[in-house]
Amino acid sequence: MLSLTNADEAVILVSTSTNMLDKNFLTTVDNLLAEAKKSSFKKLKQDHIAAYRDKFNRVELNLGDQDNTTPTNERLVSFQLNDDPAFAALYFQYGRYLMISGTNEKKFAAQPAGGVMDQPAADSLERRLPPKYQCTDELLAGRGM
């Protein structure tokens, strides 16, 4: 359990690897974390943005004006009952961001294995995109575009 008290901010560094392609994955994890600790949050953020920007900017999807005032969790619930193509575009781009940020050219592609959006809400409302808005991993990552 992580607990913070009277903090203005917190930076949580996470380093991962797998033995699938890296026999020394534990050392890799330690080295990546040690390198990250040497940088400020601002520098880490700049490096992260630079690493995915070229791929992310390959695709643009505009399905209408975004509602930037309603919280995303409320838009998600509303989306289950009302068609909101602009929210589908936002969800699409978020998925692309996760796929791009979770992969590396010399590593295996990220494999979506479920998560918060696959879990039923407290009121049993499924928090998934309707089938007409489902997309493939290749589309999300902008491969071949």
Predicted pLDDT of residue 145 = 37
Predicted pLDDT of residue 109 = 53
Model confidence over 83-110: pLDDT tens digits? Answer: 888 888 888 888 888 777 776 655 555 5
In contact, 120 and 126? CB cutoff 8 Å: yes
Model confidence over 28-78: pLDDT tens digits? Answer: 889 989 999 999 999 988 988 888 787 888 888 888 888 888 898 888 888
First to last CA, the chain: 42
The full set of domain ranges for the chain reads 1-38, 41-141
Q: Write out the E strands in 38-123.
A: none
Predicted pLDDT of residue 106 = 57
Asked if pLDDT for residue 124 goes beyond 50, the answer is: no
- In angstroms, the Cα distances linking 50 to 56, 95, 127, 141 are 10, 18, 31, 16
Model confidence over 127-140: pLDDT tens digits? Answer: 444 544 444 444 44
Residue 8, number of CB atoms within 10 A of its CB: 5
In whole angstroms, give the CA distance from residue 78 to residue 85. Answer: 12
The predicted model scores a pTM of 0.53
Predicted pLDDT of residue 104 = 63
